[in-house]
Structure 1
Amino acid sequence: MKLQRKRPYAYRGKRRITWWKALAALALAGILVFAGLFGAVMYGSYDHIQDDPQVMVVLGCRVMPEGHPSILLQDRLDTALDYWEEHPDVTIVTSGGQGSNEPVSEARCMADYLMEGGVPEDRILLEDQSHNTKENFLYSKELLADEGIDVGETDVLVVSNGFHLTRARMLAERFGYGEVSTLAAPTSHLPSRIQMYIREPLALVKSFLLDR
């Protein structure tokens, strides 16, 4: 009868320790990467305005079933209105299509809200085909080109909640926007603020790799 040779107990223990060290190193690397991405998101979450933008692109967000803007979208629109009051000559693009659970397009809802706030209808362009941030910039670029505005040669101000702006700037520059400024809206709904700041570093990686 052949006896099975057993490894010494100390050796088995050493191998278990090696695996734990590897797992701990991977976990630490993941934490450091997430922390770096979170730092990038936080850096972009403040106003970065250069020169005097001629175009303001307001990025869409959810429209409630009753037809009014969600809290996050209202934050963006109120911020856009505050800027417009001091820069009434700016051309405003409201960018966002209609989701399956939305009664109107985000662009239409935003335009109506801005007009109620005093913005003349002829200062607003509606981009109502996009369904994500990548499409926001691609379709807004096409819409502005139809109006004779080259985003590669025009100062553009992008308005969104602060957590969104690092990714928004990255995509705007990737799709040919030249001088990009950002205007950070607050995120007044606390649960959404926590959720989005945790989610956004991962969305930043996704967009960097796939939104091309």
Structure 2
Amino acid sequence: MKKLFSGLGRKIVYLLILGLFMGILNYSLISWLTSKENSFEINDVPEKKVALVLGTSEFLKNGSTNLYFKFRVEAVARLWKAGKIKYVLVSGDNSKKDYDEPSAMKEALIERGVPANRIVLDYAGFRTLDSVVRAKEVFGQDDILIVSQQFHVERALILADFKGIEAYGYNAVDVEVYSGFKTKVREYFARIKLWLDLVVGVDPKFLGEPVSIP
């Protein structure tokens, strides 16, 4: 019995190591595939009608400022001031009355000089997939600029490509490794799930009536 369990244990360890290796390879592959489609340099960014900014909460559970939120809205403000975009589509989660990512981002963008009448809100961006697909299917945009941190932009660009959307990514400043460790681990698994969603053909939770962006 000891030999049996010993052999089984080794196989499980080998499978775990193989799975970890494949996951790391997948993570690197997505970064490589999108390496020419995103940039930190605003001069590299093409002019687009609409920037899709991917939502996140304004504050962390401990009440402190969420730097992912702060850096994303600052990135959008830079694009606006540089004349790279005409509208901002803010897509985030508003599944609860007391939780409204899009409205919080809109307020932060207005404070940074983006006109309110150039900000369009998508309250059903529950996941990155929802945000990207709804940009096309609900808001009629098949040529967009995606704004978020680089790791997030890269995954969104893969989704956009598979959904027939012409997209380029502007990378917001990232959060230093210690503070963003949990997010990076979550991204590792999100990149695996990305392919499963595409293969299975997962749709957004909600679509609804078309919304026109002038």
TM range (shorter): 0.7 to 0.9
Q: Please, which of 95, 105, 111 is the counterpart of residue 106 of structure 2?
A: 111
Structure 1 SS opposite 2:153: helix
In structure 2, the partner of 1:196 is 183
Residue 208 of structure 2: aligned partner: none
Question: How far, CA to CA, are the matches of 2:87 and 2:148 in structure 1?
Answer: 16
Q: Is residue 51–residue 85 contact of structure 2 (8 Å, CA) maintained in 1?
A: no
Task: Report the TM-score, using the length of structure 2 for normalisation.
Answer: 0.74
* Aligned with residue 162 of structure 1, among 126, 150, 163: 150
**Structure 1 residue matching 2:189: 3-state secondary structure:** helix
Which shows bigger deviation, 34-43 or 117-126? 34-43
Letter in 2 for 1:169: L
* CA distance 1:89–1:113, change in 2 (3 Å): same
Report the equivalent of 1:32: 21
Tell me the distance in 1 between the aligned counterparts of 2:71 and 2:168: 18
Q: Which runs of 5+ in 2 are unaligned?
A: 203-214
In the TM superposition, residue 99 of structure 1 has moved relative to its aligned partner by 4.1
2:122 paired with 1:122: no
> Which structure has the larger Rg?
1
Where structure 1 has 5 or more consecutive residues not aligned to the other structure, the ranges are 1-11
Q: Could you tell me which residue of structure 1 aligns to residue 168 of structure 2? A: 181
Give the C-alpha shift of residue 143 in structure 1. Answer: 4.3
User: 2:73 corresponds to which residue?
Assistant: 77
Q: 2:54 aligns with which of 50, 59, 63?
A: 59
Give TM-score, length-normalised by structure 1: 0.74
Contact 1:65 1:103 in 2 (8 A): no
> Number of aligned pairs?
191
Which region of structure 1 is more displaced relative to structure 2, 117-126 or 83-92?
83-92
Pick which of 66-75 and 195-204 moved more: 66-75
- What residue identity is the alignment partner of 1:197? K
Provide the rounded CA distance (Å) in 2 between the counterparts of 1:21 and 1:188: 38
Report the equivalent of 2:212.
Answer: none
Pair 130,20 (structure 1): closer, same or farther in 2 beyond 3 Å:
closer
Which of 134, 137, 142 is equivalent to 1:139?
A: 134
> Identity of counterpart residues, as a percentage?
23
CA distance in 1, matches of 2:138, 2:102: 13
Kindly report the root-mean-square deviation, in angstroms, between the aligned alpha carbons of the 2 structures: 3.1
Report deviation, 1:199: 1.7
Q: 1:25 to 1:93 in 2, by over 3 A?
A: same
Q: Tell me, what secondary structure is at the counterpart of 2:125?
A: coil
